[in-house]
Amino acid sequence: MIDLTKNYDVIVVGGGHNGLICATYLAKSGRKVLVIEANQSLGGASATSEFSDQFSVSSCAQWLFQLNPVVASDMGLKKQGLELAARDLNTIALAEDGNHLIIDGDKLEGAGISDEDRIAFVAFNKQILRFAKLLSGAFNRRAPKLVESNLTDRITLAKLGLGMKMLGKDDMSDLMRLALINIYDVMEENFDNELLKAAISLDSLLGSHMGPRSPNTVYGYFYRRMGDIFGFSGPAVVKGGMGAVGEAMAKAARASGVDIEVGTAVSKINIAIDRVTGVTLADGRVVDAGLVVSNADPKTTFNKLVGLTNIETGVARRVKSMRMKGDAAKLHIALDSLPSFTGLSEQQMGQRLLIAPSMNYIEKAFNHSKYGEYSTAPAMDISIPTIHDSSLAPAGKHVMSVIVQFAPYELNGGWDDENKEEFKRLVIDRIADYAPDLKDKIIASELLTPSDIEARFHIQGGHWHHGEISLDQILTMRPFPGASQYGTSVDGLFLCGAGTHPGGGVMGLAGHNAAKEIIKRGKSA
Amino acid sequence: MIPHDETMMLKTPFYSRCLAACEINMWDDWKGYTTPQAYTSVEQEYFAVRSNTGVFDISPMIKYRFTGPDAGAYLNRLLTRDIRKVGIGRVAYTVWCDDKGQVMDDGTIFHLAENDYRLCAYARCLDWLMWSAEGFDVTIADETAEVAALAVQGPTSCAIFKNMGFEGIENLKPFGLTRFPFEGSEVMISRTGFTGDLGYEIWIDPSLAETFWDRLFEAGKHRDIRPIGSYALDMLRTEAGFIQAGVDFIPSEEAVRTGRSRSPFELGLGWLVSFDKPVFNGRKALLKEKKEGSRYAFVYLDVEGNKPAEHAFIYDGNKEVGTVTTAAWCPTAKTNVAFAQVDAKYGKPGQELVTEIYYERELKWTRVMAKCTVIEGAVFNPPRKRQTPAADF
């Protein structure tokens, strides 16, 4: 609810999880905060929606595996009713013949895995987690600028540098070497088992426009494994779907005094020459505030809300050059009953299931998207949340949620009903190779292409990280130089979404760090 | 398109006439075009402009055209001056900056018609112009090769144009532009230039370039019209107090080393920066600089003696405080002028400094510590430059 008599100090544009987190910290610091969300539901890409009568699903992010524990505890999410239906799930890399690979923390089972691979996997995990731990030191604070001699930034840099030294000579040189290469080469160095190599590769590139042989994929894997540093040992299923995370955060925000207006789009961030004055809503209302924090992605923020003509050319160029074209689709299926996957028990079907038989399979799937085509044999990350949480479907019935990699944002000729239907059929056929009775059990289905994700979640390019997570777009270069410490070239305008450091995923640190930065700058912000 | 694949050096539309007149065969490379450094003698050419009329081929000047409903708003964001104040038929000198408030280039903006502008620049910058166009409804074209241009400068220039039949040209005000019919087409004439004297620049379709040259020289033959090269122009512009991109400052996109570019304030061009308009490139950085102070000041020096203080260091006592960017003995003003960049706290008019000049005569080098005084501006600034109607000489 907007209370115009309140004279808000801060308006947060977008009630995604990072926006809600940022708003809560700011409200706790004594500021009067208003969050304005275009959709009816809060949480952004952490959403649950009904896609068929009585069937609901996590409509964008489907697993919780990176939520920062400090943020979760500061927000009091448990107290606000957030419940996990299952956690620390295994990942099962599916094999058509039913001889699947089960990844349970450090343990590997099935798929004829060799003792050498088991031993190598333990060592590999240890090393990756050492690297992730080191990086995590830079995640919960603003990205350090390299050239300005600011004390805070110097401490962050010194910590990173010292941390690297402390890794020891071998690890340090390995980190320097690995960070820049691709996951394909790293997998070839470490393992023999195709399913294992493919499973790790898929983890390193989910949501991105990269194949296993693309540079930056190793960093993508470090990034994914940040969840382990935050106390997860595999993905979790949220009771009520990912939307429950958004709801709990909204409750926490309201409890801290944040006003939240839903179903109202912001059409413009108002600027007087180079200082924000507030926002104009789609219905024409104007709300004034000295600070505006945009939870929208950087492109939406500057292209649509600020307007490229109202900022300087150098910034406009950087906005334009940001890489954020999504390449992952979401498939939602309503099922009359649980299908049978060859070689999986019901308990196992509740785990995270991957379709990625080999690294080359993923690379070939990626090839299509490079040329503006969807993959004819895509890689997939499958969740059947109803095995843990019956609230999402009528009794005895189920929903399946699938991340489909690769479906380019800019499909040749554009996405339409016909090619979407064709792609959906092809994806379902591919899953049916592993679950032969799947098609008999389908009641309804829904495919969200990156274009649909763009429209539904207001993310330009439909990229769930609000910008590719790659070495040229992380730390001080996220979202781009000059806007890397949440502040922008427009005085009083801040960013707090996944497009900022440390990035996307339902992690919450971008919102947390942005709030800390705004509080730190105090009146000068 | 410019056919760089066919020829090493490009030729301007006046090339045949320049070639015929260039008796001493000295040629420059001006942004890929071959243009004369001098035709006969630098001094003679210099005095042609101060006493009669000199003609300088400015066709190689980089020219961009902006059309469309947002052309004005676009330029107002691009340039530091408030373009809303430049009316149709007017020309303005301006600079443009990057986001750091560093000068990318200087040039002139011509308001040709409603939503129709031309920018004349030293350096090519189409990529920057295109990036700047994001979000604006504006069409940008490089018309460097599509427009032939001559500077016709000197006290008798107006009379020569009247001789050519351009009636009423004398009423054109400084920084104004007008058009006359010419050979079934038209010629645009602006009262602009780089010599500090009464003078004009003409803009014409390249197909009419040679005809125009011939008619101009025919009309001016009794007033001793002559073509001039870049060396004479350099003396003229120094005397007139005009800075030159690439000489007196390094365009920021060409500067490789950190800190070598300059802001408008550091070039003495603060008067070109308008903070009373919507956001423009460099605004934030320039506001900050205005508040916190500049690194450098740009000064005009009257140097003792007659040895040009080329590349000289400047001292305050024993302390080195700056360097000279341009220096010349100015024959009409009879002044030894230098332009210099000095540390910001120096350079108040009237301040006395010292330049360390080295010069060579027949292999003997001599060092002179010449006193110099900071002066207000151009040493040559005659009333006839501004007088309207322009006088007949």
Q: Is B30 on the interface with A (CB under 8 A)?
A: no
Q: Is B27 found in the same domain as B70?
A: no
- Whether residue B290 is contained in a domain is answered as no
Q: Is A313 on the interface with B (CB under 8 A)?
A: yes
Give the pLDDT of residue B7: 73
pLDDT band at A524 (very low <50, low <70, confident <90, very high): low
| A307 has a chain B CB within 8 A of its CB | yes
Residue linked to tokens 């009262």: B191
Q: Please state whether the peptide bond connecting residue B389 to the residue before it is cis, i.e. omega within 30 degrees of 0.
A: yes
Residues of B in contact with A271 (CB under 8 A): 279
Using a 10 angstrom Cβ sphere, with 0-12 exposed, 13-18 middle and 19 or more buried, the burial of residue B198 is buried
What single-letter DSSP state applies at residue A301? I
The reply to whether B214 and B155 lie within a common domain is yes
User: Is the same domain home to B37 and B183?
Assistant: yes
Let me know: does B130 contact B35? Beta carbons within 8 Å.
Answer: no
Q: Chains A and B: how many Cβ contacts under 8 Å?
A: 53
Q: Are B47 and B175 in a shared domain?
A: yes
Q: Looking at the structure, do residues B224 and B104 belong to the same domain, yes or no?
A: no
In a domain, B372, yes or no: yes
Boundary-marking domain end, from B112, B142, B172:
B142
Residues of B in contact with A315 (CB under 8 A): 99
**Cβ within 8 Å, pair A316-B135:** yes
Count of domains observed in chain B: 3
Whether A485 shows a pLDDT value over 80: the answer reads yes
Q: Is B42 part of any domain?
A: yes
The dihedral sign for the CA sequence A41, A45, A46, A51:
positive
**What strands, in cross-sheet order, belong to the sheet with B185-190?**
B177-182, B185-190, B199-204, B148-153, B53-57, B225-227
* Nearest in space to A353 (alpha carbons), one of A452, A434, A249: A434
Which of B100, B131, B283 lies at the smallest CB-CB distance from A316? B131
Same domain for B211 and B356, yes or no, is no
- Give A-chain residues touching B73 at CB under 8 angstroms: 309
For residue B365, the domain's CATH number is 2.40.30.110
Shortest alpha-carbon distance between residue A368 and chain B (Å): 30
Residues 438-497 of A with CB under 8 A from B: 482, 489
Cβ-defined contact of A309 to B135 (cutoff 8 Å): yes
Same domain, B300 and B166: no
Q: What interface predicted TM-score (ipTM) does this complex get?
A: 0.89
Considering only CB atoms, A316 lies closest to which of B73, B134, B280, namely B134
Query: What's the rounded Cα separation, in Å, for the pair A23 and A234?
Result: 29
List the single best residue of A301, A309, A317 to mutate versus B (max B Cβ within 10 A). Answer: A309
Instruction: Tell me the mean pLDDT in the region A421-427.
Output: 98
- Does B237 touch chain A if contact means CB atoms closer than 8 Å? no
A304 inside 8 A of chain B by CB: no
Tell the burial category of A126 from Cβ atoms under 10 Å away from its Cβ (0-12, 13-18, 19+). exposed
Tell me: the pLDDT tens digits for A230-289?
A: 999 999 999 999 999 999 999 999 999 999 999 999 999 999 988 999 999 999 999 999
SS3 B348: coil
Q: Would strands B26-30 and A398-405 be described as parallel, antiparallel, or unpaired? A: unpaired
- Cβ distance A479 to A493 under 8 Å? no
Is A147 touching B (CB cutoff 8 A)? no
Parent domain of B128: 63-142
Q: Is residue B284 part of a domain?
A: no
Of B131, B134, B278, which has the smallest distance from its Cβ to A273's Cβ?
B278
Binary contact (B279, A315; C-beta < 8 A)? no
Of the partner residues A274, A308, A489, the one whose CB lies closest to the CB of residue B134: A308
Nearest chain A Cα distance for residue B81, angstroms: 15
Question: pLDDT (tens digit, 9 = 90+) per residue, A29-57?
Answer: 999 999 999 999 999 999 999 999 999 99
Q: What is the DSSP letter of B98?
A: -
Which residues contact residue A105 at a Cβ distance below 8 angstroms, ignoring those fewer than 6 apart?
Answer: A88, A233, A234
Chain B residues touching A312 at Cβ < 8 A: 77, 99, 279-284
Residue B385: both structure tokens together: 């430059």
**Which chain B residues are within 8 Å of A317, Cβ to Cβ?**
131, 134
Per-residue pLDDT at B2: 58
Pair (B301, B335) in one structural domain: yes
Residues B210 and B354 in one domain: no
Output the six-digit token pair for B275: 């903070």
**Are B136 and A315 inside 8 Å of each other by CB?**
no
Chain A residues lying within 8 Å of B99, measured CB to CB: 312-315, 482, 489
| CATH number, domain with residue B116 | 3.30.70.1400
Which tokens in the block code for residue A435? 């679950």
- Concatenating the DSSP letter of every residue in B209-248 gives HHHHHHHHHHHHGGGTEEE--HHHHHHHHHHHT---BTTT
**Chain A contact present for B73, CB below 8 A:** yes
The answer as to CATH 3.50.50.60 being correct for domain A4-47+61-83+240-322+479-524 is yes
Q: Which residues of chain B have pLDDT under 70?
A: 1-6
Partner-chain contact A320 B131, CB within 8 Å? yes
Interchain proximity B279–A312, CB inside 8 Å: yes
CA–CA min distance A313, chain B (Å):
5
B70 contacts in chain A (CB < 8 Å):
309
Q: Do A314 and B99 touch (CB under 8 A)?
A: yes
B214 part of a folded domain: yes
Using an 8 Å CB-CB cutoff, list chain B residues near A313.
77-78, 98-99, 128, 131-132, 281
What pLDDT score does A458 carry? 96
Taking CA atoms, B373 is separated from A289, B326, B331, in Å, by 53, 15, 18
- Element at B109 (helix H, strand E): strand B103-113
Contact: B281, A312; criterion CB under 8 Å: yes
Contact A308 B98 (CB under 8 A): no
B175 lies in the same domain as B68: no
Nearest Cβ partner for B134 among A271, A320, A489: A320
- Which of B98, B135, B283 faces A307 most closely, judged by CB atoms? B135
Interface of A with B in 370-409 (CB under 8 A): none
Q: Which of B230, B223, B174 is nearest to B381 (CA)?
A: B174
Residues in B touching A299 (Cβ below 8 Å): none
Residue B356 and residue B322 in contact, taking contact as beta carbons nearer than 8 Å: no
Angstroms from B269 CA to nearest CA on chain A: 20
Q: Is residue B260, in this structure, part of any structural domain at all?
A: no
CA distance, residue A295 to nearest chain B CA (Å): 22
Going from N- to C-terminal start, the domains of chain A cover 4-47+61-83+240-322+479-524, 121-229
Interface residue B284 vs chain A (CB under 8 A) = yes
In chain A, the residue whose alpha carbon lies closest to the alpha carbon of B99 is A314
Q: How far is CA B97 from CA A241, A460, B123, B268, B283, in A?
A: 51, 30, 13, 14, 9
For residue A258, which of A517, A457, A2, A494 has the smallest C-alpha distance?
A2
Nearest-CA distance from A285 to chain B in Å? 23
Percentages (nearest 5) of helix, strand, coil residues in chain B = 25, 35, 40
Chain-chain contact of A309 with B73 (C-beta, under 8 angstroms):
yes
Neighbours of A445 (CB within 10 A): 20
Report how far apart, in Å, the C-alpha atoms of B181 and of each of A218, B13, B91, B221 are.
69, 19, 20, 22
Provide the CATH number for the domain around residue B150: 3.30.1360.120
Q: What 3-state DSSP class applies to A52? A: strand
Task: For residue B132, give the nearest of A307, A313, A489 by CB distance.
Answer: A313
A274–chain B Cβ distance below 8 A for any pair: yes
pLDDT at B377: 86
DSSP string, B286-344: HHHHHHH--SEEEEEEEESSSS--TT-EEEETTEEEEEEEEEEEETTTTEEEEEEEEET
pLDDT value at position B376? 92
Using DSSP's 3-state secondary structure scheme, residue A87 falls into: coil
Could you tell me if residue B279 is inside a domain? no
Half-sphere exposure of A107 (CA within 13 A, CB side): 7
Q: Residue B254's pLDDT is what?
A: 93
Q: Tell me whether residue B288 is in a domain.
A: no
| CA pair distance A43, A245, nearest whole angstrom | 7
* Beta strand extents in A369-486 (DSSP E only): 379-383, 398-405, 442-448
Contact B279 A317 (CB under 8 A): no
Instruction: Please report, for residues A29, A268, A278, A279, A489, the alpha-carbon distance to residue A9 in angstroms, rounded to integers and kept in the order given.
Output: 11, 18, 10, 12, 19
B/e letters for A471-489, b = 16+ CB within 10 Å, e = fewer, are: eebbbbbbbbebbbbbbbb
Same domain, residue pair B79 and B35: no
- Rounded to the nearest angstrom, the minimum Cα separation between A376 and chain B is 36
Mark whether B22 and B130 lie in a shared domain.
no
